């Protein structure tokens, strides 16, 4: 339960970063994806490595600890990826004016003065709703 709350909080943080860069709404999903991938794969790797070293792991609590380390690594990688994304510029569909910043209400094109709105990284004319 604690884990799910943490995932939701981190997901929202990652979404805020991704949205600010006008990136796809799918990028924040890297967080739960890499979290669970790290959580499930890491214990197998650890068991494998311990077995190779001729030292079988018996402590399940220790394995759970490794799983959480894997989850945390997954989260770090997800944040790294989204942090490294460039800010995508958006363009006015009428004249091609490029912009990166807009408010929740939309933006006015500085070239042709058209009222534009941005939904999920896509630009459309406000009056054509």
Q: Which residues bind to Zn ion, rule: CB under 5 A?
A: 92, 94-95, 97, 109, 111-112, 114
The answer to whether 54 touches 85, Cβ cutoff 8 Å, is no
Residue closer to Zn ion by CB (options 8, 111) is 111
- DSSP state at residue 87: P
Question: In the structure encoding, which two tokens stand for residue 25, read together?
Answer: 């709404």
The answer to whether 40 touches 67, Cβ cutoff 8 Å, is yes
Using alpha carbons only, give the angle 128, 109, 27 rounded to the nearest 5 degrees: 80
Residue closer to Zn ion by CB (options 71, 92) is 92
* CB 111, min distance to Zn ion, A: 5
C-alpha 78/C-alpha 24 separation (Å) is 14
Range list of H helices, the chain: 2-20, 30-52, 60-84
* CB 90, min distance to Zn ion, A: 11
* CB 28, min distance to Zn ion, A: 30
Residue closer to Zn ion by CB (options 45, 95) is 95
* CB 107, min distance to Zn ion, A: 10
Residue closer to Zn ion by CB (options 12, 122) is 122
């Amino acid at each position: 339960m604690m884990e799910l709350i943490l995932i939701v909080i981190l997901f929202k943080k990652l979404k805020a970063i991704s949205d600010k860069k006008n990136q796809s709404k799918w990028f924040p999903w890297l967080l739960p994806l890499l979290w669970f991938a790290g959580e499930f794969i890491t214990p197998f790797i650890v068991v494998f490595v311990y077995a190779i070293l001729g030292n079988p792991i018996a402590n399940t609590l220790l394995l759970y600890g490794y799983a959480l380390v894997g989850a945390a690594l997954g989260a770090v990688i997800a944040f790294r990826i989204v942090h490294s994304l460039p800010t995508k510029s958006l363009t006015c569909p009428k004249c091609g004016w490029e912009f990166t910043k807009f408010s929740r209400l939309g933006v006015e094109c500085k070239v042709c003065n058209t009222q534009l709105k941005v939904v999920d990284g896509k630009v459309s004319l406000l009056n054509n709703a």
